[in-house]
Structure 1
Amino acid sequence: MTGDDLKRERLERGWSQRDLARRAGLHHRSVQYWEGQAEIDPLAHAVQAIARAFGWRVSPHHYARVRYGVLDREAELAAIDHYFAGALRRRLRRMVNRRVICGAKTRKGTPCRAKSEPGRKRCRFHGGKSTGPRTPKGVARIAEAQRLRWARWRAERAAPE
Structure 2
Amino acid sequence: MSSTMWMNFALIGSIGISWMALALAMVCYGRLRKQSLLTQRLYQRLDHNLQMTNNGSIGMGRRLIALEKQLQQIDAAEAANEVASENLVQVAEAETVVATDKAPNPIEGLAPDLADAARLLNAGLNTEEVARRCGISRAEASLMELMHSQVKNAAA
- TM-score, with length taken from structure 2: 0.24
More helix by share: 2
Which fold has the larger relative contact order, with Cα–Cα distance below 8 Å and residues 6 or more apart in sequence? 2
Instruction: Give the greater-gyration-radius structure (CA).
Output: 2
- TM-score, with length taken from structure 1: 0.23
